[in-house]
Amino acid sequence: MEIDHSSQVGDEMDYTTNSPFVKSLMTGLAIGVSDTILSLLFNLFYRHDATSGYFSSDYVSVSSIIFGINILFVVIGLLFAAVQGGGRLAEWVFSLVFLVLTIVGVIAAMGVHPWADPLQNNRFHGLLAGLVIIVGVSAALLPVIYHNRKFRQYVL
């Protein structure tokens, strides 16, 4: 039986994997998966730290981290695909916008007060700010990761 080599990934004639749109989307998804793992580890260590103690998972739970971050990075990958037509300057603006959104997100996270207990609120502020920093910095670095030769070779 012959092996069909007509649709191998990475082939120059395979236009689905070589299009900038698909590469942007898949870069966003790859970053989303790695950020999900990083965020879950941060959540685990932050919640089980001896100084922070236990607090509610009403707002930030394992399922919200898993689904929320992955869906968010698919959307960010789509936004990056739209920005790519503007060249390198547009990509720098993309990164700058996400850095500014990260700073605004951390400031906003410090102002959220879901509980009447100040200790619970402080714990929640730390968890939410940490997650915003992880997601925001990764989103700002998406153009750098997209243009990384080794990432393109081994991941995409």
Where is average pLDDT lowest: 3-7, 23-27, 33-37, 132-136? 3-7
pLDDT tens track for 20-48: 888 999 999 999 999 999 999 998 888 77
Q: Is the pLDDT of residue 60 over 60?
A: yes
Q: Report the pLDDT averaged over residues 83-93.
A: 91
Whether 79 and 98 have beta carbons less than 8 Å apart is answered as no
Q: Is the pLDDT of residue 132 over 80?
A: yes
* Range picked from 9-13, 15-19, 75-79, 83-87 for highest mean pLDDT: 75-79
Q: Closest by alpha carbon to 91, among 136, 133, 139?
A: 139
Where is average pLDDT lowest: 23-32, 47-56, 99-108, 145-154? 47-56
Q: Is the pLDDT of residue 51 over 60?
A: yes
CA distances 18 to 13, 37, 68, 94, Å, are 9, 27, 27, 22
- What's the sign of the alpha-carbon dihedral 25, 27, 29, 32? negative
Query: At 123, phi and psi to the nearest 5?
Result: -65, -45
CA 97, distance to chain mean position in Å, is 15
Q: What is the widest separation between alpha-carbon atoms in the chain? A: 70
* Range picked from 15-24, 30-39, 78-87 for highest mean pLDDT: 30-39
Whether 65 and 131 have beta carbons less than 8 Å apart is answered as yes
What percentage of the chain reaches a pLDDT higher than 70?
84
pLDDT of residue 37: 96
Q: Is the pLDDT of residue 10 over 80?
A: no
CA distances 127 to 35, 60, 104, 131, Å, are 15, 8, 16, 6
pTM: 0.84
